[in-house]
Amino acid sequence: MFPVSSQEGAGFFSLHKVNHCHYRYLNIMSDTPPSTPEQPENQPENLSVEEFTKVESIFVRHRNVLLVRAQFTPIYTDYYLHLMEQKLRHKEELDQKLKDLMAVLTLHLVARPWAETIAWTINLRAPRVNLFATGSSLFENITGHLFTENVKEPDRNVLYSQTLIKNTEGRKSHIELETEDPLQWVETYYMQSEQRPARVFRLDDENFALLAAQPDADTEWLESLTAEDVAKITETEQTKVLETRKFRFHCGCSPEKIIPALRSWKDRKDELFQGDPFVEATCPRCGAKHLITPDML
């Protein structure tokens, strides 16, 4: 069975071994947490800013609200290139949910301190699916994946959040979800985990905006906002750009990073490979497939 039905699910690599007519699934718990930031040496160099989604953090004066907004076409373009390369295809409705989830998590990352790597796993009852997204401001990346096979049916919709900060214990929390809209998930998350109201909007042309109340916020104004108001907010309100961060769709997985999770097979290679030249390991964060040969262990 695919153990992707809990928040730990994203920590598993699944190993597929082609065995003539059928697949054999092996599940191996990774030693590394699912959302460990990739090392800087894995970042390709010479990437220009245009390949990134630029995320602006804007303070709305007098309302005491933080606006985080971005245009997500660069991230979505690379996400679709990744799906093509990996021969992955998701149902349109689920694909949209995953894209929304990556967008809103990116905005949330920018509303949070730089050092945090955050992973969200959402277990939905119907459609029965696990959605996963993770990203980091420091490593300027967001990635995600969805699981539809062998997902255990949860008794309610739940969002599991895991925050990692280098040299600290990190945090885990979970909230129950009432709806199937990723934008509303974030509003619920802010109410329950951040304990302050927030609104999330999908605007034209793959633009998204998150508005989060700061101390002494004008919450009545925040509640009354419409997408039209948010689209022209810098014309109607006094605003100040606080900072800009950039993100791209990037996982950073590689065979080298998967191999430590297979260490226990080192002395049992025959059992793992059964005479086949390789096994295929699927990255739990982005769904990329990596071929592992016996000499790599």
Where do contacts with Zn ion occur on this chain (CB under 5 A)?
251, 253, 283, 285-286, 288
Structure tokens at 113: 């301190």
In the complex, minimum distance from the CB of residue 256 to Zn ion, in angstroms, rounded to a whole number: 12
Beta bridge partners of 266: none
In the complex, minimum distance from the CB of residue 282 to Zn ion, in angstroms, rounded to a whole number: 9
In the complex, minimum distance from the CB of residue 79 to Zn ion, in angstroms, rounded to a whole number: 12
Cis peptide before 127 (omega within 30 of 0): yes
The residue among 88 and 203 lying less far from Zn ion, judged by its C-beta, is 88
Contact between 137 and 245 under an 8 Å Cβ cutoff? The reply is yes
Structure tokens at 246: 């950039």
The residue among 99 and 199 lying less far from Zn ion, judged by its C-beta, is 99
d(C-alpha 71, C-alpha 56), whole Å: 10
The residue among 34 and 213 lying less far from Zn ion, judged by its C-beta, is 34
Structure tokens at 280: 């295929």
CB-neighbour burial class of residue 7 (10 A; exposed 0-12, middle 13-18, buried 19+): buried
The residue among 99 and 285 lying less far from Zn ion, judged by its C-beta, is 285
In the complex, minimum distance from the CB of residue 254 to Zn ion, in angstroms, rounded to a whole number: 8
The residue among 66 and 133 lying less far from Zn ion, judged by its C-beta, is 133
d(C-alpha 230, C-alpha 170), whole Å: 33
Beta bridge partners of 126: none
Question: Which candidate, 274, 248, 291, places its Cα nearest to that of 13?
Answer: 291
In the complex, minimum distance from the CB of residue 285 to Zn ion, in angstroms, rounded to a whole number: 5
d(C-alpha 13, C-alpha 254), whole Å: 12
In the complex, minimum distance from the CB of residue 257 to Zn ion, in angstroms, rounded to a whole number: 8
The CA distances from residue 200 to 2, 209, 245, in Å, are 33, 6, 19
The residue among 164 and 251 lying less far from Zn ion, judged by its C-beta, is 251
